[in-house]
Amino acid sequence: MQGPFSTRRGAALYLAASLLLGLVMGALVVNTVGAAWSNGLLFAIPVTLVYCFATGFSAYYVCRAYPLAEKPPFSILTVLCLSAVVSAALLAAIGLAWNGLLQAAEVAWAGVEITAPLKAMIFGLGVVLYGLSAAVHYLAIEFGKARLAERRELESKLLAQEAELRMLRTQIDPHFLFNSLNSISALTGSNPAAARQMTLQLSDFFRLSLGLEAHTKVTLEAECALARHFLAIEKVRFGSRLTVEQDIADDAGPCLLPPLILQPLVENAVKHGIGNLVAGGAVRVAARRTGSVLRISVENDVDDDQPGAPGNGIGLANVRQRLAAAYGHEASVACALEDKLYRVSITLPAQTTES
């Protein structure tokens, strides 16, 4: 089925409109020839139903064959006028044939007197109804084109967003690997055994991170587990100088976020914070869910006299861009340095199911 009959809802609406037009035509017949309401409605409603469904198919295919944006207006108007005249003549012929059958029944409540004014009224109504049907079909076709264009534009935006996210994510591994190799290099001369241990843990870390790379979103629990694994690697180098604290609320753990989004922040906390402290310090990760908002903070101890340059490299910039690409204005990243603590706060939508 095509046109207005392609769905049950469309067919039902078209049937309801046809019945309404049948009532209008019945009232006009009663008014024109002075027939009883039973005669007028029995004549008009069946004829109108047949005509409306016939013109529904006819107008649909004419509108498809002569789209507004591709055919000259004159040719469209000519075809529609010819189709309307032919259809109106068919309506008059159907009306005469149906009325003949009704009069053959020889009952008082069937059949009407066919006069010249009634013929003219039926013909004119047929032209008007065909024009209305064509207008409705043109509107439906243009609306469908607009929806298709909107859907294609949205798909293009999603593809571009996914490409941007993949590009940004590819920056993470080289960034982390560069920092890790520097750590291994620093241990090679002073503590070869620790360097070997760190190399093995680095291999395990990348094996774990590959599992997260296969997903567009991972739970905060999985992300924090990866962060703990990384910090265990760094503890080989820093020893007791590095302490780790995590405070993840129970309702925040199942929330989803882009994979490896915390990794650059934890790296910066170790490299730019703990790495500049002779006595060492702590890296703290906390998360809370407030309604539909998830708030995550990564903070570390710093030296007020020599705070380094946390947050100015590729790591924090990557986090900002990935959150902007994934959530737009709904996500934000804020940095603060106060009381010998450097804190990066992330705010993003609290989602527990991927959509």
Residue 232 has pLDDT above 90, yes or no: no
Q: Ranked by mean pLDDT, which of 28-37, 181-190, 204-213, 342-351 comes out on top?
A: 342-351
Instruction: Give the pLDDT band (50/70/90) at residue 210.
Output: low
Average pLDDT over residues 5-11: 72
- pTM value surpassing 0.85: no
Residue 355 has pLDDT above 50, yes or no: no
Mean pLDDT, the chain, whole residue set: 83
β-pair partners for 244: 283
Average pLDDT over residues 43-71: 86
Per-residue pLDDT tens for 178-203?
Answer: 767 777 887 787 788 878 888 887 77
Instruction: Give the pLDDT band (50/70/90) at residue 4.
Output: low
Q: Nearest-CA neighbor of 300 among 320, 276, 317, 319? A: 276
The domains found in the chain, sorted by start residue, are 3-160 (no CATH), 170-349 (3.30.565.10)
Per-residue pLDDT at 57: 83
Per-residue pLDDT at 334: 93
Q: Nearest-CA neighbor of 302 among 279, 276, 278, 284? A: 276
Residue 337 has pLDDT above 70, yes or no: yes
Half-sphere exposure of 119 (CA within 13 A, CB side): 7
Residue 174 has pLDDT above 70, yes or no: no
Place of tokens 């910039």: 317
Per-residue pLDDT tens for 257-308?
Answer: 988 888 889 988 988 888 888 888 999 999 999 999 999 999 999 876 655 5
Convert the chain into a string of H (helix), E (strand) and C (coil). Answer: CCHHHCCHHHHHHHHHHHHHHHHHHHHHHHHHHCCCHHHHHHHHHHHHHHHHHHHHHHHHHHHHHCCCCCCCHHHHHHHHHHHHHHHHHHHHHHHHHHHHHHHHCCCCCCCCCCCHHHHHHHHHHHHHHHHHHHHHHHHHHHHHHHHHHHHHHHHHHHHHHHHHHHHHHCCHHHHHHHHHHHHHHHHHHHCHHHHHHHHHHHHHHHHHHHHHHCCCCEEHHHHHHHHHHHHHHHHHHHHHHEEEEEEECCCCCCCEECCCCCHHHHHHHHHHHHHHCCCCEEEEEEEEEECCEEEEEEEEECCCCCCCCCCCCHHHHHHHHHHHHHHHHHCEEEEEEECCEEEEEEEEECECCCC
Per-residue pLDDT at 309: 46
